[in-house]
Amino acid sequence: MQEFFYLPRSIEGHAKKAIGEFPALTLVGPRQSGKTTLLKHLFGGDFRLISLESPDVRVAAVNDPRGFLSLYPPPVIFDEIQYVPGLLPYIKEKIDERRSQAGQFILTGSQNLLLMQQVTESLAGRTAILKLLPLSNWELMESPARALPWEKVSFDSLPNRSPKEFWEQLLRGFYPEIAVNPFRDARLWQAGYVQTYLERDVRNLRNIGDLTLFQTFLRALAARSAQILNLSQLARDVGVSVNTARDWLSILEASFQIFILRPYFANIGKRLVKSPKVYFMDTGLLCYLVGLRDVEHAISGPMGGAIFENFVAAELMKIFHHRGEEPNLYYWRTSDGAEVDLIVDTGDALIPIEIKQSETPHPKMARQISAFQSLFKEKAGKGYVIHSGKMILPLAKDVTALPLNML
């Protein structure tokens, strides 16, 4: 059997800091994103790991929570805490017995919506909360501590990959088990992941009777990746009500399969589009869901640009979350068609980013960024056109074309 290879994660330093400052650390993220592997790597010598996914362990925790916690005293990792949310008030009791002692409990979970509500109600002020998503490109290329272009003076490059190698990775995706093991059959793994996700996470979050219809919704949503979402049209195409579609969208977001970008609003006298854009957290699952099997079809097919844009947006989401920061990412579009793919609000400036699958950047690509900068004036920072080529090129005043491997 191929030995699993551990890649350093950007979040490691933040996890160590959190466990040194808080009584508990809660690490959330999608199934198979590497949460357990990370915690074993960082804390395996000090913390005992108990999985709550096992039915017998779960029954013991539910029937006698105080006795269960006495059997597994701190320091302890409770993996998949969403299976026994009733344990959280008793963990709070244990923490409060020694409130000043850091590093008592580590909790992991693969569902965000309900789990976060329960954690914040029971452990407010007692736990740090971090999110671990699939591998970022930085992590996969073994450069987990890089800086973003607007955070540094000069541009430095990740190791070069051919377009074929890059798109092969997009098709495989960035879940650790499949991303670092070329011997695994990617489509077989992805099929199993989707089935496990549907049967476990989806049914745990909502009582959905027809999983086949939900899977149809999932595939229809994948075909709309990186587009402004018309929920009414999506619901009509799938054959469900708008309320059901909205509910299912929240399930996918809560279980970290998708993320939503809202439009950036400001009082600039322009009518702005208010609908969100939807992206998938992993390009491998996105390609699997839309039926893409090979590099040539992915690059030249009708979804090539959307997959490329999805990758860049997902990278920024992962980079910020793995730093322990909440991503302030938006898009901007006016009713007359002016649009910028991504707006990064750093707190000090608004960074406009256009994402182009072209290897040949040209000044026309900077027009929308320049329009945004002229509207927002001193609030707008330098803009970037992220492209699939190799050239660093000034396209306009304060707009630079950057190859993807400079991100």
Predicted confidence at residue 108, as pLDDT, reads 94
Calculate Rg over the CA atoms of the chain. Answer: 22
Which domains occur in the chain, in start order? 12-131 (3.40.50.300), 137-406 (no CATH)
Predicted confidence at residue 337, as pLDDT, reads 79
Q: Please give the structure tokens belonging to residue 318.
A: 């992962």
pLDDT digits (tens, 9 = 90+) for 74-96: 999 999 998 899 999 999 999 99
Q: Please give the structure tokens belonging to residue 261.
A: 């970008």
Q: Is the dihedral of CA 4, 175, 132, 318 positive or negative?
A: positive
Task: Say what the pTM is.
Answer: 0.93
pLDDT digits (tens, 9 = 90+) for 206-220: 767 778 899 999 999
Q: 88-97: list long-range contacts, CB under 8 Å, 24+ apart.
A: 88/118, 88/119, 88/121, 88/122, 88/123, 89/122, 90/65, 90/66, 91/24, 91/122, 91/123, 92/122, 92/123, 92/126, 93/66, 94/69, 95/23, 95/24, 95/123, 95/126, 96/126
For residues 133, 135, 136, 138, the Cα torsion angle rounded to the nearest 10 degrees is 140
Residues of the chain with pLDDT under 50: 1-3
